[in-house]
């Protein structure tokens, strides 16, 4: 290293298997600075019995923090970022809220996703909630949760079979990707678009900035 050159910024470890989160984080920091290191175990607590947004949000924050802590313990001191995204359908005043995770694989998953569209999506508003947890080499931990309201139109029910025949519903919370084919069903989004995809950019940037992770970054 030439004399007087500033040290290279510390890497940011992304504790996630999601290619979409990697793409979004790459908008905030140079891709070469990101190290992908998912938690060793994919097992995590569920949302059974949780029917209110505060309770669901608290559980999502706990899951994100557990992912962060597991990877931080594995990697040692450094910047670590983890997140958990869920889709929440239903209404508290009626049947209570329901967390929609990743659907089962085909063929069983086809009817599961069809049911979600009919019960929670078409002509209704649901919530995309992402919890983010991050830590610094000094051990500081920050976390936040962001909610986005998404409304699907009821006009295109006849497109559902075509949608279910695609590869899009599988491996995604709620059985859809806002940036994919499901965008054809979207009527309105209130809040962060990137939050629905899997990482709220503005809030994540503030978390990383508060931890000193962006002090030497080019972005």
Residue 219 clears pLDDT 90, i.e. is over it: no
Find tokens 């809040």 and name the residue: 191
Above 80 in pLDDT, residue 93? no
Residue 5 located in a structural domain: no
Q: Is residue 187 part of a domain?
A: yes
The band of 218, judged by pLDDT with boundaries at 50, 70 and 90, is very low
Which positions are catalytic?
84
- Alpha-carbon distances, residue 179 vs 13, 47, 119, 185 (angstroms): 25, 26, 22, 11
Residue 59 lies in a domain: yes
CATH number of residue 167's parent domain: 3.90.950.10
Reduced 3-state DSSP string for 30-61: CHHHEEECCCCCCCCCCCCCCCCHHHHHHHHH
pTM value > 0.85: yes
Q: Quick check: is 215 in a domain?
A: no
Q: How far is residue 25's CA from residue 100's CA, in Å, rounded to a whole number?
A: 24
Cis peptide before 107 (omega within 30 of 0): yes
Helix, strand, coil abundance in the chain, percent, nearest 5: 35, 20, 40
Residue 50 lies in a domain: yes
What per-residue confidence (pLDDT) applies to 5? 64
Q: Is residue 3 part of a domain?
A: no
CA angle 31, 213, 68 (to 5 degrees): 85
Count of the separate structural domains present in the chain: 1
Query: What tokens appear for 116 in the block?
Result: 């979600």
pLDDT confidence band for 94 (50 / 70 / 90): low
Higher pLDDT, 6 or 90: 90
Residue 218 maps to a domain: no
**Token reading at 215:** 């002090």
Q: Is residue 7 part of a domain?
A: no
Q: Quote the domain boundaries for residue 34.
A: 12-210
Q: Roughly how many angstroms between the first and final C-alpha of the chain, as a whole number?
A: 22
Nearest alpha carbon to residue 12 among 20, 2, 22, 4 = 22
% of the chain with per-residue pLDDT over 90: 84
């Amino acid at each position: 290293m030439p004399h007087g050159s500033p040290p290279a910024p510390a890497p940011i470890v992304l504790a996630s298997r999601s290619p979409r989160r990697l793409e979004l984080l790459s908008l905030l920091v140079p891709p070469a600075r990101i190290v992908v290191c998912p938690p060793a175990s994919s097992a995590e607590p569920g949302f059974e019995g949780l029917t209110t947004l505060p309770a669901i949000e608290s559980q999502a924050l706990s899951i994100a923090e557990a992912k962060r802590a597991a990877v931080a313990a594995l990697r040692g001191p450094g910047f670590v970022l983890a997140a958990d995204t869920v889709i929440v359908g239903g209404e508290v005043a009626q049947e209570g809220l329901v967390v929609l995770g990743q659907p089962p694989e085909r063929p069983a998953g086809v009817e599961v996703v069809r049911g979600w569209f009919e019960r929670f999506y078409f002509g209704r508003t649901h919530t995309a909630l992402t919890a983010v947890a991050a830590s610094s080499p000094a051990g500081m931990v920050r976390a936040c949760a962001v909610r986005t309201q998404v409304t699907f139109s009821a006009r295109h029910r006849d497109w559902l079979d075509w949608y279910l025949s695609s590869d899009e519903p599988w491996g995604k919370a709620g059985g859809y990707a806002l940036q994919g084919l499901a965008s054809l069903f979207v009527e309105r989004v209130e809040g962060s678009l990137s939050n629905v995809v899997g990482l709220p950019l503005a809030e994540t940037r503030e978390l990383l900035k508060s931890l000193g992770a962006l002090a030497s970054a080019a972005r």
